Amino acid sequence: MAVASEISARVRALRAELEAHNRAYYVFDAPTIADAEYDRLFRELQALETAHPELLCADSPTQRVGGAPLAQFVQRRHSAPMLSLNNAFADEEVAAFDRRCREALGAESVDYACEPKLDGLAITLVYERGLFAYGATRGDGTSGEDVSANLRTLRNLPLRLLGDVLPERLEVRGEVLLYRRDFAQLNQRQREAGAREFINPRNAAAGSLRQLDPRITARRPLRFLAYAVAALDGLPMPSHHSAAMAQLAQWGLPVAAERNTVTGLDGLLGYYQRLGARRDSLPYDIDGVVYKVDSLAAQEQLGFVSRAPRFALAHKFPAQEEATRVLDIEVQVGRTGALTPVARLEPVFVGGVTVTNATLHNEGEVRRKDVRVGDSVLVRRAGDVIPEVVAVIQERRPADAREFAMPARCPVCGSAVERPADEAIARCSGGLYCPAQRTAALLHFASRRALDIEGLGDKLVEQLVAANLVNTPADIYRLDMAALSALERMGEKSAANILAAIEKSKTTTLARFIYALGIRNVGESTARDLARHFGRIEALLAADEAALERVPDVGPVVAASIRRFCAEPHNLQVIGALRQAGVAWPDGEAAAAATSKIAGKSFVLTGTLAGLSRDQAKDMIEARGGRVTGSVSTKTDFVVAGAEAGAKLERALQLGIQVIDAAQLLHLLET
C-alpha cells in the first residue's frame, strides 16, 4: 500500500526544517532553534521513517548518526590528483611568486583569491545530481580512503545541495577540522570519561575521521570547509576561483568567511598581516594563508610543477607548536602565594619568540599530562598567551625521566605550603612575609592595566624588595633620587624617569586602583564593576557581603575575598598611605558612566576597525559603562563591524541587531 501523501509530505517538511536548523547552527553559527525542540522534530522524523522504511533515503538528517562499523576502508582513486602547495615563509618568497605569475601571464598586475590555510585534513567530496555520493581522504594524492560513512555524520556537510540548478557531478576539495571551542568541549568530555585527551584539534580531527565505526565519528563535532572545485560536470565553470567559492556557498557548502580577493603583492601581504592579527580569534586553527590566482583561465595557463600548482602559494605563519625537552620543573610563587610548577625548557622558537619556560599550571596538571624532567614535550605559544606544555611525546621518554613532587615548604621563604583538599592550587602560607609574594604584588600594582608605572619592572622590583626599600605599594611613593641612584646599574637619568613615572601614576581611576590592590578573584572587569557600583573607595571598603553581591557578576566567592581583604588592618593602612601619598582619581567617575548613552549596552566587535584597535574600542566602551562580549546574541545592542567582518556580522544581520562602523562608534562615544 502506498504511504499516504500526507505522511511523505510531513517527512519532507521535517527533513527540510532539520537541515535548515543544521545549516543555521553549523554553517552560519547562528542557532535558530532550542536543542530540545530540534530533538523533538528529529525524533518525530525517526519515528516516521521507522514506521515507513520505504520513505528512508540517504540524505535524511537521521542518517547523520552513523551506520554500522566497517571492516576496513575501501580505496578510491581521485579523478584529479590531490596536490600539495608550495610554502613561503618570507615576504621575498611571496614577491617572487607574484613576479613569476605576472611574467608567465604577461600581466602588469594579478588578482588573487586569498584564504586561510586551514589546519585540518584534506578531503575530496563528490556530489551526483545534487546528492552526496562519497568522500575520500587525500591518501597518497592519487587515491585515498573512502570515508563516506564518517563524512555523512558531519553536521555542516550537506547531504543534498541547495537550489534548482545543480551540476550533474561536482567534486569539491576542502578540509575537515574541529572548531577550537568544539575541541575544548570534546577534551572536557574525554577528561570526564577518564579517557586520553587529544593533543590538538588537528589530531582529534584526524583520529575521528579515520574511525571504522561511524557512530564514534558522529559524536565528534567535526566540520568541513570547502576550498576548491576539482570538477564540475553539466554546468559551466565560473570564470574565477572566488566566483566558484561563492557558488559552492549558494549550494549550501560551507566555506571560510575570511576569504578575500586582492590585487598584486601589496594586496597579498596586507591580507597576510590582517589575518595574522586575527589568527587567535578565529574559530579554528590556521597555519597560514593561501594565495590563488583568481582567474581560472590564468590558473590553467600557469599549470603545475611536479606535485604543486604554480598558481597558488601557502604563506605560513610562525608555528605555534614545537617539540623541545624539559630540563627541569621548578616552582614559582605568585602574588597570592600560589605555587605554579614551571617547566624549564631547552630554548625553542615557537609562536614567533624563543621560549625557555612553560607553565604547568598546578600539581594536578603535571600528573594529568604526566610531565617529567627529561621528557620531550610539545610546547604551544599562541598570540600573547603564556607558553604551555601541550603533551608529552611518550615514545621519546628517557629511562631516567624524573617525576615532579610539590615541595612541602615555599622555595622562596620556607613557610609551610598549604593545599585545601577541595582546591587544585597549593599556596605558600607566608603572605607578604614572602619576598616572592611581595615582589609579585608590587609588579601587579605597577603593571600597565593597574597603576601603569613605566620602568618598574621585574629586575628593579626584585632589587627594591631585596634592599628592603619597598615592602608595600605605598613605599613606592617614598622612593627618592638618593635611594634609587644608590641601586646597582641605576643611572641618574633612569632614576629620574622612574620618579617621573611614579609621580604620573598618582593620577588614576578608581577602577584601576581597585584592580591594582591585587585582591584575590578581583580582575580588571570586576574592579570596573565595583568602581561603577560603589563610586567611592570608602563605600567599597564598608560594604558587607550582601552589598557586594548586589554588584553584577559578584558572587559569594568574590564577595568573600573582598571582605577578607578589607578586614585586614594592614591592607587598610596601605590604602590610607597610598591616598596620603597623593594617589587620587576624579570624583563622580561612576556617575558619568551611568548617564552615558552607552551605559548598560552590550557591544560585539568584529573585523578590523578603521583607525581603532580592538583594545582601544573596548576600553572606551567600558569606560562609559558599556560591555564588550565575544558573541552575537539577541541580547547584543550593537555590532561594531570593520573590514573583513565575518560570521558575527552575518549573525547580527540575521537577528536584526544594529550594525555600526568605527566612525559611528566614535560618534556614539562622544555624545
Please give the torsion angle defined by the CA atoms of residues 287, 291, 294 and 295, in that order, rounded to the nearest 10 degrees: -120
Our finding on whether 85 is near ligand IVH (CB under 6 A) is yes
93-129 in b/e burial notation, b at 16+ Cβ within 10 A?
ebeebbeebeebbeeeebbbbbbbbbbbbbbbbbbee
Q: Counting contacts by CB under 6 A, is residue 122 touching ligand IVH? A: yes
292 is annotated as an active-site residue: no
**Considering only residues 50, 75, 84, 263, which one is a binding residue for ligand IVH as defined by CB under 6 A?**
84
Taking residue 589's Cβ as centre, other Cβ atoms within 10 Å add up to 17
In whole angstroms, how close is the CB of 103 to ligand IVH at the nearest point?
A: 21
Residue whose Cβ sits closest to ligand IVH: 122
Residue 290 or 527 having the CB closest to ligand IVH = 290
Asked if residue 285 binds ligand IVH (CB under 6 A), the reply is no
Q: Which of residues 446-475 bind ligand IVH (CB under 6 A)?
A: none
State the Cα–Cα distance between residues 510 and 527, nearest whole angstrom: 8
Q: In whole angstroms, give the CA distance from residue 510 to residue 470.
A: 23
Per rule CB under 6 A, is residue 206 in the interface with ligand IVH?
Answer: no
CA distance 33 to 35: 6
Count of Cβ atoms closer than 10 Å to residue 523 Cβ: 11
- Work out the burial of residue 449: count CB atoms within 10 Å of its CB; fewer than 13 is exposed, 13-18 middle, 19 or more buried: middle
> Going residue by residue from 158 to 177, which x/- string records binding to ligand IVH, judged by CB under 6 A?
-----------------x--
Residue number, 55 or 290, with CB nearest to ligand IVH: 290
If the CB atoms of residues 19 and 115 are measured against ligand IVH, the closer one turns out to be 115
Residue 253 as a binder of ligand IVH (CB under 6 A): the answer is no
Which 286-325 positions form the footprint of ligand IVH (CB under 6 A)? 290, 309, 312, 314
Q: Tell me if 516 contacts ligand IVH by CB under 6 A.
A: no
Considering only 5-13, 44-52, 80-88, 467-475, which stretch makes contact with ligand IVH by CB under 6 A? 80-88
- Which residues pair with residue 428 across a beta bridge? 417
How far is the CA of 88 from the CAs of 84, 97, 286, 465, 581, in angstroms? 13, 9, 15, 48, 56
Which listed range, 114-122, 270-278, 453-461, 556-564, lies at the site for ligand IVH (CB under 6 A)?
114-122
Q: Which of 94, 118, 417, 605 binds ligand IVH (CB under 6 A)?
A: 118
* Residue 657 CB burial class (10 angstroms; 0-12, 13-18, ≥19): buried
Can you name the residues that pair with 418 across neighbouring β-strands?
427
Closest approach of ligand IVH to the CB of residue 376, in Å:
26
Q: How far is the CB of 402 from ligand IVH (least distance, A)?
A: 40
**Residues 149/70, Cβ–Cβ less than 8 Å:** yes
H or E element that contains 629: strand 627-629
| Chain CA centroid to CA 159, Å | 30
Q: Of 15, 117, 241, 624, which lies in the binding site for ligand IVH, with binding defined by CB under 6 A?
A: 117
Q: How far is the CB of 610 from ligand IVH (least distance, A)?
A: 27
Min. distance of Cβ 643 from ligand IVH in angstroms? 20
For ligand IVH (CB under 6 A), the number of binding residues is: 15
Counting runs of H as helices and runs of E as strands, what totals does the chain give? 26, 24
Q: Toward ligand IVH, which CB reaches closer, 287 or 388?
A: 287
Does 228 help bind ligand IVH (rule: CB under 6 A)? yes
Question: Is 139 or 625 the residue whose CB approaches ligand IVH more closely?
Answer: 139
Shorter beta-carbon distance to ligand IVH: residue 117 or 444 = 117
Question: At residue 525, what is the residue type?
Answer: S
Which one, of 624, 631, 626, lies nearest residue 605 by Cα?
631
Query: Residues with catalytic annotation?
Result: 117
Chain residues that interact with ligand IVH, rule: CB under 6 A: 83-85, 115, 117-118, 122, 138, 175, 227-228, 290, 309, 312, 314
